[in-house]
Homo-oligomer: A and B are copies of this chain.
Amino acid sequence: MSTPADDRTPAAERAYAIVKQQILTGRLPGGALLSEAQVGAEIGVSRTPVHEAFLRLAAERLLTLETRRGAVVVPLAADETRDVLEAREAIEASAARRVCDDARAAQVAATLAPSVATMREHVATGDVEAFVAADDAFHAAVVHAAGNALLSSFYALLGDRQSRLRHQLLRVRAYQLAGAADDHAALADALAHGDPERYARVLHEHVARYRGAL
């Protein structure tokens, strides 16, 4: 994405963004031991803002702070994939139910339709990167539509972890994309009919398929 190296953005913010990016992309592998001074020297700030960044990343469970030893990048747990997908499914299904309860399902589904069309285009051109981005946006939009700030922010954290998983484990094959696009169309359709149960069912299969891809 954009380089967050603006000179006027706070140093702590820069440090946070940089280190997080490196963890999510796998450039910093699980188990790596980081020291504040070392990271600070690399990005040209003192220990203090790096310390802040480490604290934030520890709160997101991407780092564990070991006193007087350093910060270690949390290794991918064996069941990380399952945990993340399970959590996403639980939250998104709940969001869909809520959207339907509020009778805003059709409206939300309408905003989702163009998103599905975009995905199909990316399938056609084989642009995996763009497809994944559209995929994420689709699900995030449903969650966001539920209007629960707590769930939304937790969902964002899950998105980070999933992105890390993708970078570490996944080579998406283009031929899988078509099926995924169909899934999303089915999800939007369930929403259009205000049927949260069907949404949950399709979502469950969708997630299961994705999980199989790892």
Contact = CB atoms under 8 A, between A and B. Distances in A.
A34 B27 CA distance: 38
Interface string A133-170: 00000000000000111110110001001000000000
Interface string A98-139: 100000000000000000000000000000000000000000
Contact of A61 (B10, B52, B153): B153
A94 B89 contact: yes
Q: How many copies does the complex hold?
A: 2
B150 A83 contact: yes
Interface string A76-104: 01010011101101110110001000000
Contacts of A60: 59
A83 B52 contact: no
Interface residues of A, number: 30
A83 B86 CA distance: 20
Contacts of A67: 10
B150 A87 contact: yes
A59, A77, A147 interface centre (most CB from chain B within 10 Å) = A59
Nearest to A48: B48
Contact of A56 (B55, B61, B86): B55
B77 A148 contact: no
A88 to B, nearest CB: 10
